Amino acid sequence: MNTLLPTTTAGSLPKPSWLAQPETLWSPWKLEGEELAEGRRDALLLALAEQQAEGIDVVSDGEQTRQHFVTTFIENLEGVDFEDRRTVTIRDRYEASVPSVVGPVSRRRPVFVEDAAFLRRHTEAPIKWALPGPMTMIDTLYDAHYGSREELAWEFAAILNQEAKELAAAGVDVVQFDEPAFNVFFDDVKEWGVAALERAAEGLSCETAVHICYGYGIEANTNWKKTLGSEWRQYEETFPKLQQSSIDIISLECHNSHVPVELLELVRGKKLMVGAIDVASTEVETPEEVAATLRRALEFVDADKLWPSTNCGMAPLPRSVARAKLGALSAGAEILRRELAG
């Protein structure tokens, strides 16, 4: 990456209203069959154009290719029954109806590889592609076959590794694994979570990232955050292990969050995607607010390792708000670049 402070997003952007109901998570598609395939690609190109118009350096598909960041991947696996749905509590926080694992899991076909190649053909910019992490996958399922969270996580890690290698071969520059579950299940993270993540990222020819956040701005998450006290020290549990890991980039939440910024010191040496945009508020940050967050982060991360980013995905936000936030992110990063150059 030649740009100093390359801007990027943690993941999703809002979908156009002709493709899916806006401001809704897990929103069902409004199209089907060939029309849906075409609509998703049109939306991907729009998301790309909006990121580039707003000055985002490391671009993505804006997750226009998926209904949900975990379930769309799982839908393409053998061994998962989508008719046999059970209600489980996700990340100890909210209930959702999820599919069941009913037999050995395997990847039936590449899931996002064609979409990634399509994005690659339309831009020269570095591209980042998000996949769910193994622990977050098992947390979004009911397991009626393996009877062991760890065993199922290792199976998913091997499947993710196949997909990630093909994404890299298709020209993806950064494969990012989303692991919000790392902020909840600390014992599992230490015992096998980071190891399973490294297995998913093993042998990749591109850079690898892990995204750990406090979630979308939905009610269940907002209520959970109220229980976390005045200082959110969850990263303290996982960062020392991640600092030792083979993962190149850590994506974390920062702006408007109660995460003490000095915790960034725990992953010194890694590249950091620092969240300088709050996804739980429709208020658009000023460039100066973005710059202030990045300036604080620079006390704990070297400038050549800082990637200004969003706290999490922006799928549930109004489209105009998300776009304005992208612009604020770029403008804030530019303030800092000028300061560093001066």
Packing angle of the helix pair 113-121, 33-53 (nearest 10 deg): 50
Say if CB 182 and CB 135 are below 8 A apart.
yes
Taking the complex as a whole, the smallest distance from the CB of residue 225 to Zn ion amounts, in Å, to 13
Taking CB under 5 A as the criterion, which residues in 266-305 touch Zn ion? none
Size of the site for Zn ion (CB under 5 A): 2
For 60, left (φ over 0), alpha (ψ -120 to 50), or beta? beta
Contact call for residues 61 and 87 (beta carbons, < 8 A): no
Q: Which is nearer to Zn ion, 313 or 332 (CB)?
A: 313
CB of 24 to Zn ion, least distance (A): 17
User: At its nearest, how many Å lie between Zn ion and the CB of residue 31?
Assistant: 26
Nearer to Zn ion, 100 or 183 (CB): 183
Q: How far apart are CA 270 and CA 157, in angstroms?
A: 22
DSSP 28: P
Q: In what order do the strands lie in the sheet with 249-252?
A: 128-132, 174-178, 207-212, 249-252, 271-275, 306-309
Nearest approach in angstroms of CB 119 to Zn ion is 20
Q: How would DSSP label each residue in 280-294? A: S--SPPPHHHHHHHH
Smallest separation, CB 178 to Zn ion (Å) = 6
Please answer whether residues 142 and 88 qualify as being in contact, where contact means their C-beta atoms are separated by less than 8 angstroms: yes
Min dist CB 313 to Zn ion, Å, is: 6
**Helical (H) or strand (E) element with 90:** strand 77-90
User: Which of 58, 312 has the CB closer to Zn ion?
Assistant: 312
| CA atoms of 110 and 213, how far apart (whole Å) | 27
Q: How far is the CB of 341 from Zn ion (least distance, A)?
A: 31
153/312 with CB nearer Zn ion: 312
Which x/- pattern, by CB under 5 A, does the window 206-225 give for Zn ion? -------x------------
User: For Zn ion, which is the closer residue by CB, 273 or 331?
Assistant: 273
Q: 202 or 237: whose CB is closer to Zn ion? A: 237
What per-residue string of b and e applies to 220-244 under the rule 16 or more CB within 10 Å gives b?
A: ebeebbeeeeeebebbebbbebbee
Residues between 104 and 133 with contacts to Zn ion, criterion CB under 5 A: none
Bridge partners for 271 per DSSP: 249
Residue 34 or 219 with smaller CB distance to Zn ion: 219
Contact 127, 173 (CB under 8 A): yes
Closest contact distance (angstroms) between CB of 280 and Zn ion is 11
**Contact set for Zn ion, span 301-320 (CB under 5 A):** 312
Rank residues 101 and 329 by Cβ distance to Zn ion and give the closer one.
329
Regarding 181 and contact with Zn ion (CB under 5 A), the answer is no
What pairs with residue 95 in β-bridges? 89
For residues 11 and 312, the answer to whether their CB atoms sit within 8 Å is yes
152 or 280: whose CB is closer to Zn ion? 280
Q: How far apart are CA 5 and CA 7, in angstroms?
A: 6
- Residue 11 CB, shortest distance to Zn ion, in Å, is 7
Binding site for Zn ion (CB under 5 A): 213, 312
